[in-house]
């Protein structure tokens, strides 16, 4: 199972994968269209700039307060959940988490697992692990179902199938779902999905879900969704397994309403999602439905590394709304698959290096224009641009002892570092800079006309024959 | 050392600056205002109708009649009810007179799974309260009115008393002391089930009810 870590080679293929998308007008249009739609919907949800600002500050305070108390809150959560009859498991790595989940499945001789939307289950590649163990893992969120049917991965954390057109989905259903005629009517397509998946819910042995907020004081797992598949996954099968990163915890129940409001308004521009499902335990003796057994898997997978550093810890404030992606000029152009990581876009760039190490993600933080849009919309005020700068530093600085991150210095090159040091030297000294610019303007005819990728679509860069200072001198 | 201990040890080893307790109460005090029942009703109704729910103003006396009307218009021949609740009891009495059959959720799901998944066109439940700000119904399923009632039938009819509408989710959980009394499952429902996963086109009835019908009891009609 450990070989699936090797399938992550994000830095390697980013260029090639993004080129594919950039050169595909169809994909570009669908990403641009969908992102514009989400951006506009979000704007209508925040008519008051003052309300947005103060609520974001409150969101930031709530997340930072809870992170500051994370270890004791995890223990409190474990106590509360245990009291409520929910079994708590801890996993440091994806492999460990998969082993725990498969262990529960095998104890019930499970054949079919239905899954509500869970990015953490994507993070650990649970579907592969299930397949290897002979357990069918079926995605039930419509977008995830489509993506799974196509043998692909989600391209957006909130809208997994955003890269597919309805015609592609129509063909997919026609080819892969038994007895389905071609239709590109969206209502009909959704009804096909509903019919197929309801049969799965009827017979599934295990329901798996993610968690949006875990409340320590009450031992409550909260789930945000629109479709009802999350509710079905957590209610219909006899066993419910939830999985979450260790950071998604809040101490008090009253921390939930502000975060919920920020989440749904930032994510899809809804004032609230259709369902907010708060689960505080399995079926009681006198109750007539609900799972009879419940588990929660708490996953580390690099989060403790981010936690150890005051600045990097801010990464863990994230409530996974996806707004940073929707507003990212890079994401909008290259799409979610180009990144090659479970979490794409700005949040992916700041969280993935902790999960996968900088060796595999060393250039991810450079796929950014540092325009700052992500930091501006983030509902919990994560300073994403600053973190990107920090990650570049971690990647490209000379390897040193006690690094804050696994793989620090993975992108270090002595030559490049020397070039930049020389550049810094020249630009700091008026004398050196004067000599350099004088030489550059006099010998500008030496600049090559072919400047690699730059000149494929632009005119070559050439120093001006007269420097600004020369022009000023001429004038006076 | 177990994984648990290792994770906790790493977290405990981190130098962490203490952070102030967030002051949630004062944010709500300055950004959300008290409203009269009529204002709350209007806001609740506007929001939930925007989310595609059908809302009917009824009274304590008229709701059973409205229920029958709705069922007749939609040509629904069977209604799932919770017979141990007062509204479920009342519904069964009225339905018996009209000839619409009802199905009581009076045994555990295992005993009638097939029927519940395939053959229950509509259900009637109560609601514990509602939230005006977001147009949200709050349900606390229990032994009498179980979780799946508001999820599997394609049409979900909810009876709600206007006097239980709160301004915000925060206000509701505070005034009702939720943190000490949560049930195994508490639900906020703000419309029929929906998805925009195919080309951001909105479609209703993804996995849960396609139609949500709200009988708003006490609203002046
Ligand atoms: S980093 Fe901020 S904007 Fe991006 S997903 Fe997380 S909470 Fe949302």
Residues B192-203: pLDDT tens digits? 999 999 998 999
* A157 CA: nearest ligand 1 atom: 5
Angstrom distance (rounded) from CA A381 to CA A375: 6
pLDDT of residue A12: 67
Angstrom distance (rounded) from CA A90 to CA A298: 5
Angstrom distance (rounded) from CA A263 to CA A256: 10
pLDDT of residue B221: 42
Q: Are strands A220-225 and B122-126 parallel, antiparallel or unpaired?
A: unpaired
E strand or H helix that includes residue B212:
strand B211-217
Tokens of B49: 């109708």
Taking the Cβ of residue A353 and every Cβ of chain B, the question of whether any pair is shorter than 8 Å is answered with: no
CA of A331 to the centre of ligand 1 (A): 14
Nearest-by-Cβ selection for B151 from A161, A226, A235: A235
- Closest-CA distance of chain A to residue B206, Å: 5
Angstrom distance (rounded) from CA A228 to CA B189: 10
Domains of chain B: 34-217 (3.40.50.10420)
Angstrom distance (rounded) from CA A340 to CA A224: 26
Burial of A421 by CB count in 10 Å (0-12 exposed, 13-18 middle, 19+ buried)?
Answer: exposed
Q: Does the distance separating the beta carbons of A161 and B195 come in below 8 Å?
A: no
Residues of chain A with pLDDT under 50: 1-9
Interface of B with A in 117-146 (CB under 8 A): 117, 133-136, 142-143, 146
Interface of B with A in 64-103 (CB under 8 A): none
- For residue B160, list its beta bridge partners: B216
Angstrom distance (rounded) from CA A18 to CA A237: 40
Cβ(A364)–Cβ(A14) below 8 Å: yes
Question: Angle B199-B205-B208 (CA atoms, 0-180°, nearest 5)?
Answer: 125
Q: Does the distance separating the beta carbons of B192 and A280 come in below 8 Å?
A: no
Angstrom distance (rounded) from CA A268 to CA A264: 6
**Chain B environment of A166 (Cβ under 8 Å):** 198-199, 201
Q: Does the distance separating the beta carbons of B22 and A62 come in below 8 Å?
A: yes
Cβ(B118)–Cβ(B112) below 8 Å: no
Q: Does the distance separating the beta carbons of A308 and B203 come in below 8 Å?
A: no
Every domain of chain A with CATH number 3.40.50.10420 lies at 4-9+46-304
Cβ(A210)–Cβ(A233) below 8 Å: no
- Closest-CA distance of chain A to residue B92, Å: 20
- For residue B217, list its beta bridge partners: B58, B161
Cβ(A375)–Cβ(A382) below 8 Å: yes
Nearest-by-Cβ selection for B197 from A67, A96, A159: A159
Residues of chain B with pLDDT under 70: 219-221
Phi-psi region of A340 (alpha: psi -120 to 50; beta: other; left: phi over 0): left
Its pTM stands at: 0.94
Instruction: Name the class of domain A4-9+46-304.
Output: alpha beta
* A266 CA: nearest ligand 1 atom: 8
Tracing tokens 């429902």 back to the chain, one arrives at: B189
Tokens of A352: 């993935």
Residue A424 CA neighbour count, 13 Å, CB half: 6
Tracing tokens 């403790």 back to the chain, one arrives at: A304
Taking the Cβ of residue B189 and every Cβ of chain A, the question of whether any pair is shorter than 8 Å is answered with: yes
Nearest-by-Cβ selection for B136 from A146, A272, A288: A272
Question: What is the SS3 assignment for B19?
Answer: coil
Q: Does the distance separating the beta carbons of B6 and A198 come in below 8 Å?
A: no
Question: Closest by alpha carbon to B211, among B82, B45, B52?
Answer: B52
Cβ(B104)–Cβ(B92) below 8 Å: yes
């Amino acid at each position: 199972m450990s070989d699936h870590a090797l399938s992550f080679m994000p830095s390697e293929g980013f260029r090639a994968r993004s080129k594919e998308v950039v050169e595909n007008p169809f994909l570009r249009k669908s990403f641009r269209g969908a992102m514009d739609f989400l951006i506009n919907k979000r704007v209508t949800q925040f008519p008051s700039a003052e309300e947005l600002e103060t609520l974001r500050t409150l969101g930031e305070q709530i997340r930072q307060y809870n992170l500051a108390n994370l270890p004791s809150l995890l223990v409190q959560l474990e106590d509360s959940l245990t009291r409520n009859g929910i079994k708590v498991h801890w996993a440091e790595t994806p492999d460990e988490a998969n082993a725990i989940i498969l262990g529960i499945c095998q104890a019930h001789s499970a054949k079919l697992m239905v899954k509500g939307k869970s990015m953490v289950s994507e993070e650990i590649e649970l579907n592969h692990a299930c397949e290897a163990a002979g357990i069918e893992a079926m995605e039930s969120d419509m977008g995830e179902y489509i993506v799974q049917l196509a043998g692909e991965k989600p391209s957006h954390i909130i809208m997994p199938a955003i890269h597919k057109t309805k015609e592609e989905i129509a063909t997919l259903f026609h080819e892969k779902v038994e007895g389905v005629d071609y239709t590109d009517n969206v209502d009909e397509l959704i009804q096909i999905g509903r019919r197929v998946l309801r049969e799965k819910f009827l017979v599934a042995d295990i329901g798996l879900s993610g968690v949006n907020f875990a409340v320590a004081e009450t031992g409550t797992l909260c789930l945000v969704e629109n479709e009802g598949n999350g509710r079905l996954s957590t209610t219909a099968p006899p066993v419910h397994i939830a999985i979450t990163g260790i950071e998604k915890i809040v101490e008090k129940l009253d921390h939930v309403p502000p975060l919920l409001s920020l989440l749904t308004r930032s994510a899809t521009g809804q004032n609230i999602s259709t369902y907010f499902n708060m689960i505080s335990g399995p079926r009681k003796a006198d109750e007539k439905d609900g799972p009879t057994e419940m588990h929660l898997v708490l996953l580390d997978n690099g989060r403790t590394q981010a936690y150890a550093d005051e600045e990097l810890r801010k990464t863990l404030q994230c409530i996974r709304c996806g707004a940073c992606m929707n507003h990212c000029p890079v994401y909008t152009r290259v799409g979610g698959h180009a990144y090659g990581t479970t979490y794409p876009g700005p949040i992916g760039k700041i969280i993935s290096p902790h999960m996968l190490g900088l060796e595999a993600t060393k250039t991810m933080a450079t796929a950014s224009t540092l325009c700052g849009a992500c930091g501006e919309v983030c509902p919990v005020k994560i300073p994403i641009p600053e973190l990107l700068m920090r990650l570049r530093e971690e990647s490209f600085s000379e390897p040193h002892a006690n690094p804050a991150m696994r793989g620090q210095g993975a992108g270090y090159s002595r030559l490049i570092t020397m070039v930049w040091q020389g550049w810094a030297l020249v630009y700091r000294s008026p004398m050196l800079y004067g000599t350099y610019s004088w030489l550059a303007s006099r010998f500008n005819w030496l600049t090559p006309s072919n400047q690699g990728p730059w000149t494929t679509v632009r005119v070559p860069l050439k120093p001006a024959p007269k420097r600004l200072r020369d022009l000023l001198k001429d004038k006076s | 050392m177990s994984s648990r201990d290792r994770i906790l040890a790493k977290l405990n080893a981190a130098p962490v600056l203490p952070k102030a307790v967030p002051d949630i109460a004062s944010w709500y005090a300055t950004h959300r205002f008290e409203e009269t029942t009529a204002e709350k009703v209007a806001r609740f109704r506007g929001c939930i109708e925007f989310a595609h729910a059908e809302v009917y103003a009824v009274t304590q006396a008229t709701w059973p009649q409205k229920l029958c009307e709705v069922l007749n218009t939609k040509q629904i021949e069977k209604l799932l009810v919770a017979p141990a609740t007062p509204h479920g009891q009342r519904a069964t009495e009225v339905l018996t007179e009209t000839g619409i059959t009802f199905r009581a959720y009076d045994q555990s799901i295992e005993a009638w799974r097939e029927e519940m998944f395939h053959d229950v066109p509509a259900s009637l439940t109560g609601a514990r309260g509602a939230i005006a700000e977001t147009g949200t119904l709050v349900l606390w399923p229990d032994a009498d009115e179980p979780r799946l009632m508001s999820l599997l039938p394609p049409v979900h009819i909810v009876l709600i008393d206007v006097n239980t509408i709160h301004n915000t989710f925060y206000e509701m959980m505070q005034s009702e002391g939720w943190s000490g009394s949560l049930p195994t499952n508490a639900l906020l429902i703000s419309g029929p089930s929906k998805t925009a996963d195919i080309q951001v086109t909105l479609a209703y009835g993804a996995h849960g009810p396609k139609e949500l019908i709200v009988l708003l009891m006490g609203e002046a009609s």
